[in-house]
Amino acid sequence: MVYQATASAPVNIACIKYWGKRDTKLILPTNDSLSVTLDQDHLRSTTTSRADPSFTKDRLWLNGTEEEIKPNGRTATCIAEMKRLRADLEAEKPNEPKLSQFYVHIASKNNFPTAAGLASSASGFAALVKSLASLYQLPSTPSELSLIARQGSGSACRSLFGGFVAWEMGSSPDGSDSLAVEIAPREHWPEIHALICVVSDDKKGTSSTSGMQRTVETSTLLQHRIKHVVPERMKVISEAIKKRDFNTFAKITMQDSNQFHAVALDTDPPIFYMNDVSRAIISLIVEYNRVSVDAGGPLKAAYTYDAGPNAVIYTLKENVKEIVELVVNYFPQANQFKDPFGLFGSDGVQGNVVTGFNTAVAKPFGVGAVKNLIHTRVGDGPRTLGPEESLLGVEGLP
Amino acid sequence: MVYQATASAPVNIACIKYWGKRDTKLILPTNDSLSVTLDQDHLRSTTTSRADPSFTKDRLWLNGTEEEIKPNGRTATCIAEMKRLRADLEAEKPNEPKLSQFYVHIASKNNFPTAAGLASSASGFAALVKSLASLYQLPSTPSELSLIARQGSGSACRSLFGGFVAWEMGSSPDGSDSLAVEIAPREHWPEIHALICVVSDDKKGTSSTSGMQRTVETSTLLQHRIKHVVPERMKVISEAIKKRDFNTFAKITMQDSNQFHAVALDTDPPIFYMNDVSRAIISLIVEYNRVSVDAGGPLKAAYTYDAGPNAVIYTLKENVKEIVELVVNYFPQANQFKDPFGLFGSDGVQGNVVTGFNTAVAKPFGVGAVKNLIHTRVGDGPRTLGPEESLLGVEGLP
């Protein structure tokens, strides 16, 4: 009998940013956060987990390369927590096989290159937890699983749901109420699309793990953000999502991206994640929105930046074509735009600019400044996949 | 009889930044600020003012070009205020000529090119006020004159003193207590030197006048800075100056530069003044300090950035040579370093890096990224100059 399961999990990109832990071991954050789950059809981590009495230790392969599972490290913690849930189930149902006592082999891969500069820890830990939950046939809800994924990588907890997801910081010292909840499923607002601009960076940035704790220790503005700004923004953006109010959603998303980078800059020594290319993309989106607002319309796009120079632009599906044209005008692409939604005909992207746009807001960059454009949309939560998707061979090795 | 006077005034660069007005007409700030006055031997504005009954209106020339004096504008306000002080004096001393009733001709020039990217409004308004004070033979103290220069350009009030200068925000609605005071004269700590890195910028930045009001209106962090952070920093840095404690002076200076740019970024839409070159200079100074601190020493240099990409690096005289070498290593110069203090022999700058410096913290840039390096030091307050320095000819024209 082979005990094995395969699952995939999505990437999520926050609108209200997580930056700062109140407990670094349990990964308990200093504020609530909120994200949009992106479509696994375009970006995903896939993980196969197998339990077998013949295995001699827990082992993990990432993209085909074995990685050490450090004792008491984050991966070990997630595996131990999942085994504990399985043991609880076995205690209740004595006829179930004692999988909790077997070692596991886990193989995981991402369908996007590391070079894309997209954080894979969120989708990776979510897929790990989901595949183990399937292997162990646990009745756990996504929120319950999010408690465990959170201990792998904080933002991974939000990848246990599709759609629009909040990570509630909670108040319990043991972390039992610091979990993800669904604000709205993807079906509520499927028109939310995302354009990821992969920005070339020649500077090694500060890791988010060390960076956020330096901010907690040295920024004199962070506490004000945590106590007064984020709680209000969480309310307003949750309401905006429920009402499908893109204008408010965009405004809060941009403000919170800016404020996250502001507190990073208020850190000693300061932390910079955005570079001149990131700044130029902000200028384009600000001007693109100005044209709409000056004509009496709403904000049409929202930029957001995580701990790196890449831009994620949220917009409604109807605006994606204009935005791709705009970005390509300033950031010529080496490769043809991969057009998963068939927006462009055989002529491809022309680099057109919307009427009334002040082209002087940014200077054009050379090919490669924006290395790649990825068009995706709001997506669903983790999926349990069939055995044909297995990443482990007959021997239980990749 | 010719009634004329010529004065020069220095540039100042803030360590605690002024950003935000509570009264835009009177130019009353939302927080105290503190600056170092730079040496007029290197950077100065010079202004000649003449009063004559034959003049038919107030006129102003900047660097040889006539500028309109807008009714109720900032220059008109300063001239009117100075005439009012003269009228008070004439009322007390009836034998004095009635200069307050004559129109004035004013010619001003800067000894640094506009292309240097250095704000000339501070030195310019300070020189204007000082030359009129000399012309009118006013007994006013520098603090009293600072009240008037402040209405020309906020930070100009700090250029009425040499050395280390605080602008006390005051509390009176009429602005009568929003003035500059001396924290310490240049002689107290003459070892404070400054290296200005003039950074090339291809993006037109947001003017500080409009930028700071957008921050006041939209930043959710600014009020916390104003109420809680700046008052504490003013105390700590004033003490550090009195004790000649460079380590603390440097720490607060860098933190406050970072926080000013953080609240600019927290503005909606965000305001960026620093670019990739500015960021790279920060990385160099952070690493330069790390080498010293890791060896048990103090911070040796402090960067600070105003509303533009130029870096001003404060350091003690003994460290300037190392810092010039370091900057030139990463930012090769088109022109030979102008060496006003004779630090370098005939070989010039070699681009050496201090032992233990991790050169990977920044990548080298091409010639022109840093256009110019200006070495100067803490300087004295406005000077009254002799008639040989006059910028007006016999006819009262430049």
How far apart are the C-alpha atoms of B281 and B330, rounded to whole Å?
A: 9
pLDDT of residue A205: 76
Question: What is the residue whose two structure tokens read 């009262």?
Answer: B396
Q: Which residues of B touch A251 (CB under 8 A)?
A: 268
Q: Do residues A382 and A10 make contact, with C-beta atoms less than 8 angstroms apart?
A: yes
Mean pLDDT to the nearest integer, B17-34: 98
How far apart are the C-alpha atoms of B280 and B284, rounded to whole Å?
A: 6
Task: Find the residue in A nearest to B262 (Cα).
Answer: A262
How confident is the prediction along chain A (398 residues), in pLDDT tens digits per residue?
899 999 999 999 999 999 999 999 999 999 999 999 999 999 999 999 999 999 999 999 999 999 999 999 999 999 999 999 999 999 999 999 999 999 999 999 999 876 566 778 999 999 999 999 999 999 999 999 999 999 999 999 999 999 999 999 999 999 999 999 999 999 999 999 999 999 987 666 788 899 999 999 999 999 999 999 999 999 999 999 999 999 999 999 999 999 999 999 999 999 999 999 999 999 999 999 999 999 999 999 999 999 999 999 999 999 999 999 999 999 999 999 999 999 998 889 999 999 999 999 999 999 999 999 999 999 999 999 999 999 999 999 99
pLDDT of residue A125: 97
pLDDT of residue B120: 84
Q: DSSP letter for A341, please.
A: T
Contact A286 B269 (CB under 8 A): yes
Contact B254 A268 (CB under 8 A): yes
Grouping H, G, I as helix, E, B as strand and the rest as coil, residue A202 is coil
Q: Do residues B195 and B165 make contact, with C-beta atoms less than 8 angstroms apart?
A: no
Q: Which residues of A touch B229 (CB under 8 A)?
A: 220-221
Using the predicted structure, report yes or no on whether residue B291 has a pLDDT greater than 90.
yes
Residue type, A33: S
> Which residues make Cβ contacts (< 8 Å) with residue B32, sequence separation at least 6?
B16, B166, B167, B168, B169, B230, B231, B234
Q: To the nearest 10°, report the CA torsion of B360, B366, B371, B372.
A: 50
| pLDDT tens digits along B144-180 | 999 999 999 999 999 999 999 999 999 999 999 999 9
Bond preceding residue B142 cis, omega within 30 of 0: no
Task: Find the residue in B nearest to A269 (Cα).
Answer: B286
Give how far Cα B82 sits from Cα of A210, B101, B131, B168, Å: 55, 12, 10, 21
Query: b/e per residue, A37-56, with b = 16+ CB within 10 A?
Result: bbbbebbbbbbbbbbbeeee
Q: Which residues of A touch B204 (CB under 8 A)?
A: 360
Best probe of the B interface among A31, A206, A224, by most B CBs < 10 A, is A224
Using the predicted structure, report yes or no on whether residue B116 has a pLDDT greater than 80.
no
| pLDDT tens digits along B343-353 | 998 889 999 99
Q: What is the helix (H) or strand (E) element at residue A3, kind and residue range?
A: strand A3-10
Mean pLDDT to the nearest integer, B88-113: 95
| Helix %, strand %, coil % of chain B (to 5) | 40, 25, 40
- The candidate with the shortest Cα–Cα distance to B7, out of B103, B193, B149, B177, is B149
pLDDT of residue B114: 65
Contact A221 B221 (CB under 8 A): yes
Q: Which of A228, A259, A275 comes nearest B276 by C-beta?
A: A275
Confidence of residue B255 (pLDDT cuts 50, 70, 90): very high
How far apart are the C-alpha atoms of B72 and B26, rounded to whole Å?
A: 12
Q: Do residues B192 and B237 make contact, with C-beta atoms less than 8 angstroms apart?
A: no
Contact A269 B261 (CB under 8 A): no
Confidence of residue B201 (pLDDT cuts 50, 70, 90): confident
Looking only at the bridges linking them, the beta strands covering A370-377 and A192-199 are: antiparallel
Confidence of residue B200 (pLDDT cuts 50, 70, 90): confident
pLDDT of residue B203: 67
How far apart are the C-alpha atoms of B126 and B167, rounded to whole Å?
A: 14
Angle of CA points B328, B333, B338, to nearest 5°: 90
The two structure tokens encoding residue B116: 């240097």
pLDDT of residue A346: 87
Q: DSSP letter for B205, please.
A: P
Give how far B389 is from chain A: nearest CA, Å: 42
How far apart are the C-alpha atoms of A33 and B56, rounded to whole Å?
A: 66
Q: Which of A203, A229, A261 comes nearest B265 by C-beta?
A: A261
How far apart are the C-alpha atoms of B154 and B156, rounded to whole Å?
A: 5
Q: Do residues B55 and B134 make contact, with C-beta atoms less than 8 angstroms apart?
A: no
Mean pLDDT to the nearest integer, B286-300: 98
pLDDT of residue A262: 98
Mean pLDDT to the nearest integer, B101-125: 87
Best probe of the A interface among B266, B289, B305, B361, by most A CBs < 10 A, is B266
Q: Which residues of B touch A263 (CB under 8 A)?
A: 221, 262
Q: What is the helix (H) or strand (E) element at residue B36, kind and residue range?
A: strand B33-37
* Domains defined along chain B, listed by start: 3-189+385-389 (3.30.230.10), 192-377 (3.30.70.890)
How far apart are the C-alpha atoms of B225 and B223, rounded to whole Å?
A: 5
pLDDT of residue B204: 67
Contact B266 A259 (CB under 8 A): yes
Using CB atoms and an 8 Å cut-off, which of residues 362-391 of chain B contact chain A? 362-363
Using CB atoms and an 8 Å cut-off, which of residues 176-205 of chain A contact chain B? 202-204
Handedness of CA A324, A326, A329, A331 (dihedral sign): negative
Best probe of the A interface among B31, B230, B255, by most A CBs < 10 A, is B255
Mean pLDDT of chain B: 96
The two structure tokens encoding residue B368: 């022109």
Is the interface score ipTM higher than 0.90? yes
Task: Find the residue in B nearest to A226 (Cα).
Answer: B221
Contact A225 B228 (CB under 8 A): no
- The candidate with the shortest Cα–Cα distance to A82, out of A137, A42, A41, is A137
Contact A270 B251 (CB under 8 A): no
- What is the count of residue pairs from A and B with beta carbons less than 8 Å apart? 86
B271 touches A: beta carbon within 8 Å? no
Residues in chain A: 398
Contact A221 B363 (CB under 8 A): no
